[in-house]
Chain A
């Protein structure tokens, strides 16, 4: 296996990852690799550590022990946060007095990679109108969720980390978003989705693992090895 193939197979590599807050251990010796170009589902009860695992991959938390490597670069050592990554965690923090387009333009101005056209396309893709002047503060939960999704992929990232992406969406909206996420996978993107919706797992995810009290268990591996997700 050459370097490129190795990175494709182990696009996200988590080794012996543990995280403690005081006496509470929220991640317990997590070992797993996620392959590029697939949708990986993480399920688990509230407080099981799903979001914390995503935050560790993002580089938002400093591991007590172990490491996270994304595309061959170790988070915290080689770079602070993974490159070319879009995230949707908890609350996407839009400015309530800005329109959806202005919010996304503000965020896009940091990396400077997304053009106005790309931003408009991303907003349209999630079923919103980019010319809508309505302030985000007046958006419904579902609309905010769609905008958060547009924010995550507007810069064409290689990796998408999504925490409960279907929150606040109606049945029709869920189907639309699922189709869109599968479309992103088909273009070679890697998606890591924390969810508790059974249909998401059944219909979208190529691999599934479960978090329980900070421990990760593989439920549906990608191949027969049982370790490589």
Chain B
């Protein structure tokens, strides 16, 4: 990945400078990114406080089935008379929480595997990268579905399916980062003063690889939400009556022709969440140092992640 190596050259002899401040400054001047930020903050509030804001018990079945919106039920009720608004508020924590947790997991796995491959080199590197190639050779959603299907339907099963396919792209990026960091002057200096391999790895290489990968994961949350809600929509996620967004859509299917709102409302919630994270992610990418931005191209969950480098 020559683009990675070239892309990471921040033009400093020392450790890479912090990314956060210039990014925030540029983000503030970008309208679409600000819209994304507002949406993301809104959804994060739902994740944090949703259940305590809900007016009803999301699992409480009542006789008021498929009710139209009213003061008591701001978004109406579903086919079993449950309050849709309360289910949405509770579901945010499950759907978005799963996505955020998955993002953290793939970041961690990618960091460990990528660092190991990039720093150990040789046979370890070759083996790990071939495993990465193999995972990326299978269409993502197909493999995630088959792996999640090995378990009883649950959000943990969905997460396992997702992590199985998603770590590989991260490992490849981290490996590229570590390779380029290894020959940087501040790492060589640490080596020269007699720091051990592990110390160099833990104190110098890993911290510098973390921030670009965290940025990458931020750009990816929208895609993760899409795949998670897709799998739960197919019935692989938490069983009823769990108020998860994809599952709500699935529950609503039978009522769709007469009462389309029971499908359209959770669908809209998922779409807005994905849109928010995508807008914010695009803004962050635009705001990045252009040389770094070339590195943090958004990986694609459902296809080959990285356009191959053209030999020059």
Co-complex (A, B):
no
Which residues of B are at the interface with A, using a C-beta cutoff of 8 A?
Answer: none
Which residues of A are at the interface with B, using a C-beta cutoff of 8 A?
Answer: none
